[in-house]
């Protein structure tokens, strides 16, 4: 679909037909959301060179930032945001104020600037959401961080694994393993691939609760997705199994051995 859109764009350009802002914005957003940020940047350059009143609109620039975030090119995203200051000084200044407050741990100040942006109907870039979610989780405000993630999604910024992981870890640290497990399911349901960090926090949390069955089930699930357990995950699982006397009867032990053998062979 994106290739067809690009072909149409090139055909119209060849025929001397100019695109309006909505067309540029839609194509750039689609390319960046679809993992083709470099193509999105090329179209953005063409938009900026056009004489059809397309310049001065921040939406396509935010789409490029989102594409870089999805591709985990955060250093490039910060550099791109800084360069945006020439065109959007007020928006970029407020964005860096929020990022700065987050790095300082000044959560309340960061949230005040964010809330003011929302009141003024400005759309924060994806980096603001990512920074806010991380600092809220670090300070134990996981529920507020989860609400921010929902606001992020409402603006069509879908989180990557690192954003989900910090929330999963936050819920686990608060003993809310059920919420963490639901978030993992939501993560998978939204098409975001979990990684070792997504599972290791949950396995460790279930092991701390002494729920060996659920911990083992998660390890089997992660292996089924091609994710190799790390030392932390193995250690948590083995320590939990050694304390689980119910599982040490003959039938259960055979079952566990078979499951662990499957994991090792995988």
Where are the chain's structural domains? 1-83, 88-159, 164-266
Question: Which H or E run includes 235?
Answer: helix 231-243
**Residues in the chain with pLDDT values less than 70:** 1-17, 51-55, 244-266
**Per-residue model confidence (pLDDT) at position 22:** 86
Residues 6+ apart with CB under 8 A from 218: 199, 202, 203, 206
**Per-residue model confidence (pLDDT) at position 229:** 86
**Per-residue model confidence (pLDDT) at position 240:** 81
C-alpha 43/C-alpha 7 separation (Å) is: 12
Chain centre to alpha carbon of residue 106:
22
C-alpha 204/C-alpha 242 separation (Å) is: 14
**Per-residue model confidence (pLDDT) at position 46:** 85
Residues 6+ apart with CB under 8 A from 155: 123, 124
**Per-residue model confidence (pLDDT) at position 266:** 53
Question: Which pair of tokens denotes residue 226?
Answer: 């091609």
**Per-residue model confidence (pLDDT) at position 234:** 85
The dihedral through the CA atoms of 50, 51, 52, 53 has a sign that is positive
**Per-residue model confidence (pLDDT) at position 70:** 95
**Per-residue model confidence (pLDDT) at position 13:** 64
Determine how many CB atoms are found less than 10 A away from the CB of residue 115. Answer: 10
Q: Tens of pLDDT along 218-250?
A: 998 998 888 988 888 888 888 887 776 655 554
Given the structure tokens 């909505």, which residue do they identify?
Answer: 22
Class of domain 164-266: mainly alpha
């Amino acid at each position: 679909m994106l290739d067809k859109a690009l072909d149409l764009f090139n055909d119209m350009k060849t025929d001397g037909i100019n695109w309006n802002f909505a067309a540029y914005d839609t194509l750039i957003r689609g390319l960046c959301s679809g993992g083709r940020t470099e193509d999105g940047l090329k179209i953005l350059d063409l938009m900026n060179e056009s004489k059809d009143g397309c310049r001065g609109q921040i939406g396509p620039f935010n789409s490029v930032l989102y594409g870089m975030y999805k591709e985990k090119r955060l250093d490039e995203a910060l550099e791109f945001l800084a360069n945006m200051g020439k065109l959007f000084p007020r928006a970029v200044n407020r964005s860096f104020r929020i990022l700065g407050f987050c790095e300082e741990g000044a959560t309340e100040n960061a949230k005040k600037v964010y809330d003011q942006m929302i009141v003024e109907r400005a759309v924060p870039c994806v980096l603001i959401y990512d920074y806010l979610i991380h600092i809220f989780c670090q300070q134990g405000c996981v529920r507020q961080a989860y609400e921010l993630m929902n606001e992020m999604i409402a603006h069509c910024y879908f989180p990557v694994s690192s954003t989900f992981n910090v929330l999963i870890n936050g819920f686990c640290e608060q003993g809310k393993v059920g919420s963490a497990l639901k978030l993992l399911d939501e993560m998978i349901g939204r098409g975001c691939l979990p990684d070792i960090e997504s599972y290791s926090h949950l396995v460790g949390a279930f092991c701390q609760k002494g729920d060996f069955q659920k911990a083992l089930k998660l390890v089997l699930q992660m292996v089924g997705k091609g994710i190799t357990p790390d030392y932390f995950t193995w250690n948590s699982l083995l320590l939990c199994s050694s304390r689980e006397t119910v599982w040490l009867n003959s039938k259960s032990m055979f079952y566990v051995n078979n499951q662990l053998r499957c994991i090792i062979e995988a």
